Amino acid sequence: MSLVVSVSNRKGGSGKTTTAVNLAAEWAARGLRTLVVDLDTQGHAGYGFGVVAGRGDPTVHDLFGAHGGELAAAIRPTAWQNLFVAPADPMFEGVSAGADKTLLARQLRASPIAEAFDRIVLDTPPAADAILVNALAAADAVLVPIVPHTLSAIGVEQLSRLLFRVATGVDQRRRLLGIVPVMTNGRINLHRTVVDEVTTRFGRDRLMKAIRSDIRVAEAFASRKPVRDYAPRSHGALDYHLLVEDLATLWDWPATGCADCAPAQRPRIS
């Protein structure tokens, strides 16, 4: 059965997509069959792996369209072993307020997707719309990247309130919550102050090791590669490697896959 993590922040420009891409790449490199579901209509998570839907191709947003769709039909392989992407539809116009809040959860928990993957990473839109609610309802855990500036704690609080409403009104499963500071510089006083404030508000057990500011991470994304491939000796590659170790310890999620398990394959719809 797959474990689902929603990488979410109500604020744009928080390193959400970069974190989703590099976290997924780390898990896949460790033998965990990993699927990235690009729920943000900007389509940047798919772009980070060189996977972009063409005109008429199935996308994850078909699931939320007027005629419905199957998520499995949108899943595509990437150039990396064990790593698959369900790309976004940049032309998607949004979901009605009364949309089914558990639609995504049902698709992810059903065969064949649940059996095909060990990890599913949801890259979510920043708006508090029906798609974000669907992602939070489907998730086993929520990872919140934050850029250390004065509004970061407010953004985490807003998402926490939304997560609480989902957990009490949509799906009452307990969800893990983690916060990862990104694009940090320990020599900047403001960065240290904000990280300390977030730690005080949400607890040290929810705070992951920081992802340091590193131009190699941005260069890797522009090259449509994870940073572990583009610059394996960089600070960014090391920090995302350590993030997986951090999650394994704090969330009790295995950091490596089964050596005897079959490689991931695109699920087939009968």
**62-74 tens-digit pLDDT:** 999 877 789 999 9
- Predicted confidence at residue 270, as pLDDT, reads 37
Contacts of 14 (CB under 8 A, 6+ apart): 126, 145, 146, 147, 155, 182
Does residue 42 carry a pLDDT above 50?
Answer: yes
Which of 76-85, 121-130, 150-159, 172-181 has the weakest average pLDDT?
150-159
Supply the DSSP string of 119-161, one letter for each residue: EEEEE--SS-SHHHHHHHHH-SEEEEEE-SSTTHHHHHHHHHH
H-assigned helices in 170-234: 189-202, 215-222, 227-230
Which of 126-130, 151-155, 266-270 has the weakest average pLDDT?
266-270
The CATH number for 193's domain is 3.40.50.300
Does residue 153 carry a pLDDT above 70?
Answer: yes
**Residue 171 within any structural domain of the chain:** yes
Does residue 150 carry a pLDDT above 80?
Answer: no
- Predicted confidence at residue 111, as pLDDT, reads 77
pLDDT band at 96 (very low <50, low <70, confident <90, very high): low
Domain range enclosing 52: 3-251
Does residue 266 carry a pLDDT above 70?
Answer: no
**Residue 266 within any structural domain of the chain:** no
- Predicted confidence at residue 155, as pLDDT, reads 80
Query: How do residues 228-241 score in pLDDT, each as one tens digit?
Result: 999 999 999 999 99
Is residue 260 within 8 A of residue 269, CB to CB? The reply is: no
Does residue 262 carry a pLDDT above 90?
Answer: no
**Residue 24 within any structural domain of the chain:** yes
**Residue 263 within any structural domain of the chain:** no
If one compares 167 and 21, the residue with the highest pLDDT of the two is 21
**Residue 31 within any structural domain of the chain:** yes
Question: How many domains are there within the chain?
Answer: 1
Token pair belonging to 103: 């639609």
At 266, phi and psi to the nearest 5?
A: -65, 125
| Helices and strands, number each (H, E), in the chain | 10, 8
CA distance 95 to 103: 12
**Residue 269 within any structural domain of the chain:** no
CA distance 191 to 169: 35
**Residue 261 within any structural domain of the chain:** no
